[in-house]
Structure 1
Amino acid sequence: MPDGNADALARLRDALVPDIPAQAGDMPLQAFSRAVTRARRDFTAARYAGLADDLAELIPAARSTSSAAGRSLAAQVYHLAARTLIKLSAPPYAWVAAHQGEQAATASGDLRALAEARRDLVSLFHRAADYGKARDLTARAADLMRPQLSGAAPTAWGAYGALMSTGAIAAARMEDRHSALAMLEEAAEASQQAPKLVLSAGHVVTYRIGVSIILGDAGTAIEHARGISPDDIPTVERRASYYTGIAEAYTLWGKTDRALRALLIAEKIAPAEVRRSNSRRIIEDLLHRDPHSNLSGLRALARRVSVTL
């Protein structure tokens, strides 16, 4: 991990679990709301290290707020902290953020916050390889939230669809094709009601690619990728995931030159995404498949992300 990321991660960790009782944060609600909006923008732009620093500054305010609107914003801060810590490969701290986010979301009663908090837990159970728990949490959350979606705010629809998309990945890991595809269909339906920056049809396609890869169907993953334009994915974070998914599918398909091309595009879009563990595994796989590779740029890319044979 780059030193800047490690320092930012440590500051966020200490904000979540301070060494001494934390001082209450004093931030007017409007300023708090604007700061959370900026933080969401930074996450979608894959600026994780800077975001970790900003979130560390926001957590005291999240901890001290008591109004329903403030608790909803607090839940969003913890949600962004959990997602950022996952991106920075720090799941133990992400569990802390997710737990605090669940508490804030429950106190707020905000459907969007509840869906985001549940998604964080699903993601963390998935990363702990407890795929059954992740899938079942998603299914239970769907049963509870679905009746509340009628008339819900567009952002709540987006959070619900993102939860379903994440749960579909866990179901695929269980080889539960039926549940995975059903969850993706729910996510696609939710995307029609959601703001494009929160959950677009293009976002859902990136998860369709992931599910197809997990189920061993690289060809279907590529078909999904070809079915949309990258411009249909409005956030940098998901657009980079689109290309790393293509790279993984082409690697499984044995088309290493196309896999490398997709990784290089992903790196150009969001360098932080190519430094994550899944992208690094793809690069390692490409190197192992052809240790004397003459592919232009592969070894240079491996050096940039500190991957060696």
Structure 2
Amino acid sequence: MWEAAVSVERRWTELPEARHAAVVGDYGSLLRVARTAARLTLSEAGERCGYSAATLSRIERGKQRLTDVTVLRRLAAAFDIPPELFGLTDDGATGSRQSRSTIGRLLGEGAYREVGDDPLRRRDVLGGLAGLVGSTFAADPEALAAPPSRVVTSLEDILLGNTVPPAGPVDAAQLRSALAHAWSDFRACRYARLSARLPQLVATATAHYETVADGRRTMAAATLTRTYHLATQVLIKLHEDAMAWSAMDRARQAAREADDPLLYAETARISAIVLRRTRHGQRAQQTLLSAAQSLDGCTKLTSPAEVAVYGRLLATAAYTSALADQRATAWELLNEADEAGRRSGAGGGFAGVDVALYRIGVARVLGDYGAAVEYARALRPEQLGNVERRARYWEDYALALHGRGAHREAYRALLCAERIAPQEVRYRPWAQQLTTALLSADRRQALPDLRGFATRIGVAR
């Protein structure tokens, strides 16, 4: 099989048109030869490399010149084009060779395995795990109560088209400022205000993208992608998985036009979270590992921001492996993410402290509650960069304590989460479900004012 693959490569690279295109620097024609040799349509090729079919068509026809080294490396990696044909040298040694071999091996093996080997048995086990979440918190808390309708209703308008488009032209600078403020709300866990802002924000970003001149379309696509990233993240938080799926799809479409490998990698990461939550775990893991491999191939991880995004992909893949009880794979990937975090420093908002936060979650979903508690005690929440991350810390810490049967300590952690992020506790199902479990365990009313707390966050007694 390997020999056959090599033979195919030699055939297309030795074609006269391929040789001529490489000699004269006609990289668009070279790309077309590589794509047709792989028997890919423009749409299929776009899925592989993260560009739209229209963009690839412009590149192949010479309407959009290929001069950026990062883009050339990205296309070379996506279509197995020898770098030297694009005038490149294989000099990218910044990335971790160990990480690359790990990802390649896991992709070859099929890194994600559902619990159990038999598909029918696997579905039964997964169904059983979903039913156990409320009492044990051993798995990712996905099957949870619906959030308050007043928070969700405004988010539905995003995808149902019930928002009023802006009158007149959109000011791009004002749009980016509004998006930055919305992301600030998300990081501060101000979900109610954010959900009220999102419909008009998405409508404005969409109108801007659809009406902007061709020369500024790429930037408009990037802004629209980040807007849908935010919408998807909010919908994930509120466990509105069907709407999150739709928002994810729109983010992917916009990201193809954005022509930004970092943006496309982050789109893949968020997409994988939605896939995982909708019981497509294997596809989620493949998406994460393929995105990490592609990002490495096209950028060579030469900047802190690139390494940071790479590390974030690996950390998310580690958590995904933990949910499938793939212990060795989960810790291996998290160790690789830790290495990336150290190399990136604080670049891109991902560093060793973020890996430490993932360690708590990975240990918890693996059922290693004692280890999760120890990891949590070793990390000071004030080290985490924003309220949303600190809320995640208290979530994992509280659930791990509950898993150990330390109900009083779990309640204290829940109160800490409410103190720093009241809407995280009021609107997120994990807190409501943990409160219900504590009420069931607290028959002697040993926890002070637990029932008052439950009433405050809307949990029926």
Q: Could you say whether these structures have the same fold, taking a TM-score greater than 0.5 normalized by the shorter chain as the test?
A: yes
Q: Which residue of 2 aligns with 1:27?
A: 170
* Separation in structure 2 between the aligned mates of residue 208 and residue 140 of structure 1, nearest angstrom: 22
1:254 aligns with one of 405, 409, 416: 405
Query: Contact 1:40–1:80 (CA<8 Å) still a contact in 2?
Result: yes
Q: Which residue of 1 aligns with 2:375?
A: 224
Q: Secondary structure in 1 aligned to 2:459? A: coil
Assess, with a 3 A threshold, how the Cα gap between structure 1 residues 301 and 165 changes in structure 2: closer, same or farther: farther
Query: Contact 1:75–1:105 (CA<8 Å) still a contact in 2?
Result: yes
* Separation in structure 2 between the aligned mates of residue 75 and residue 240 of structure 1, nearest angstrom: 25
Number of equivalent positions: 308
Q: Which residue of 1 aligns with 2:201?
A: 58
Once the 2 structures are TM-superposed, how far is the Cα of residue 197 of structure 1 from its aligned partner?
7.7
Assess, with a 3 A threshold, how the Cα gap between structure 1 residues 242 and 151 changes in structure 2: closer, same or farther: same
Q: Which residue of 2 aligns with 1:286?
A: 438
* Separation in structure 1 between the aligned mates of residue 249 and residue 379 of structure 2, nearest angstrom: 36
* Separation in structure 2 between the aligned mates of residue 225 and residue 270 of structure 1, nearest angstrom: 18
* Separation in structure 2 between the aligned mates of residue 132 and residue 2 of structure 1, nearest angstrom: 26
Q: Which residue of 2 aligns with 1:127?
A: 277
Q: Which residue of 2 aligns with 1:163?
A: 313
Residues 1:37 and 2:187 are matched in the alignment? no
Residues 1:204 and 2:384 are matched in the alignment? no
2:219 aligns with one of 69, 90, 93: 69
Assess, with a 3 A threshold, how the Cα gap between structure 1 residues 213 and 129 changes in structure 2: closer, same or farther: same
Once the 2 structures are TM-superposed, how far is the Cα of residue 153 of structure 1 from its aligned partner?
5.5
Assess, with a 3 A threshold, how the Cα gap between structure 1 residues 21 and 303 changes in structure 2: closer, same or farther: closer
* Separation in structure 2 between the aligned mates of residue 149 and residue 219 of structure 1, nearest angstrom: 39
Q: Secondary structure in 2 aligned to 1:264? A: helix
After alignment, is 112-121 or 207-216 more displaced? 112-121
Q: Deviations over 1:186-228 (max 9, x none)?
A: 4333434264783343332222111101111111111211222
* Separation in structure 2 between the aligned mates of residue 109 and residue 194 of structure 1, nearest angstrom: 25
After alignment, is 142-151 or 106-115 more displaced? 142-151
* Separation in structure 1 between the aligned mates of residue 170 and residue 195 of structure 2, nearest angstrom: 18
Query: Contact 1:157–1:194 (CA<8 Å) still a contact in 2?
Result: no
After alignment, is 264-273 or 185-194 more displaced? 185-194
Q: Secondary structure in 1 aligned to 2:349? A: coil
Q: Deviations over 1:108-155 (max 9, x none)?
A: 121232122112221112222332222222122222122234456655
Once the 2 structures are TM-superposed, how far is the Cα of residue 24 of structure 1 from its aligned partner?
8.1
Assess, with a 3 A threshold, how the Cα gap between structure 1 residues 24 and 159 changes in structure 2: closer, same or farther: farther
Match runs of 1:84-163 below 5 Å: 84-150=234-300, 154-163=304-313
Q: Which residue of 2 aligns with 1:83?
A: 233
Q: Which residue of 1 aligns with 2:338?
A: 188
Assess, with a 3 A threshold, how the Cα gap between structure 1 residues 287 and 242 changes in structure 2: closer, same or farther: same
Counterpart amino acid of residue 288 in structure 1: S
* Separation in structure 2 between the aligned mates of residue 159 and residue 26 of structure 1, nearest angstrom: 34
* Separation in structure 2 between the aligned mates of residue 31 and residue 285 of structure 1, nearest angstrom: 45
Q: Which residue of 2 aligns with 1:238?
A: 389
Percentage of matched positions with identical amino acids:
32
* Separation in structure 1 between the aligned mates of residue 246 and residue 451 of structure 2, nearest angstrom: 37
Residues 1:213 and 2:364 are matched in the alignment? yes
Q: Secondary structure in 2 aligned to 1:185? A: helix
* Separation in structure 2 between the aligned mates of residue 152 and residue 297 of structure 1, nearest angstrom: 53
Q: Deviations over 1:36-89 (max 9, x none)?
A: 221221111011121122221221232241521121111100000000112223
* Separation in structure 2 between the aligned mates of residue 151 and residue 197 of structure 1, nearest angstrom: 13
Query: Contact 2:289–2:313 (CA<8 Å) still a contact in 1?
Result: no
Assess, with a 3 A threshold, how the Cα gap between structure 1 residues 277 and 218 changes in structure 2: closer, same or farther: same
Assess, with a 3 A threshold, how the Cα gap between structure 1 residues 308 and 265 changes in structure 2: closer, same or farther: same
Assess, with a 3 A threshold, how the Cα gap between structure 1 residues 161 and 299 changes in structure 2: closer, same or farther: farther
Counterpart amino acid of residue 96 in structure 1: S
Q: Which residue of 1 aligns with 2:26?
A: none
Query: Contact 2:262–2:295 (CA<8 Å) still a contact in 1?
Result: no
Counterpart amino acid of residue 10 in structure 1: T
Q: Secondary structure in 2 aligned to 1:307? A: coil
After alignment, is 34-43 or 19-28 more displaced? 19-28
* Separation in structure 2 between the aligned mates of residue 24 and residue 109 of structure 1, nearest angstrom: 29
* Separation in structure 1 between the aligned mates of residue 378 and residue 354 of structure 2, nearest angstrom: 13
Structure 2 length normalisation: TM-score?
Answer: 0.61
After alignment, is 146-155 or 128-137 more displaced? 146-155
Query: Contact 1:79–1:117 (CA<8 Å) still a contact in 2?
Result: yes
Q: Secondary structure in 1 aligned to 2:367? A: coil
Q: Which residue of 1 aligns with 2:452?
A: 300
* Separation in structure 1 between the aligned mates of residue 229 and residue 334 of structure 2, nearest angstrom: 22
Structure 1 length normalisation: TM-score?
Answer: 0.89
After alignment, is 244-253 or 117-126 more displaced? 117-126
Assess, with a 3 A threshold, how the Cα gap between structure 1 residues 197 and 112 changes in structure 2: closer, same or farther: closer
After alignment, is 248-257 or 135-144 more displaced? 135-144
Query: Contact 1:116–1:159 (CA<8 Å) still a contact in 2?
Result: yes
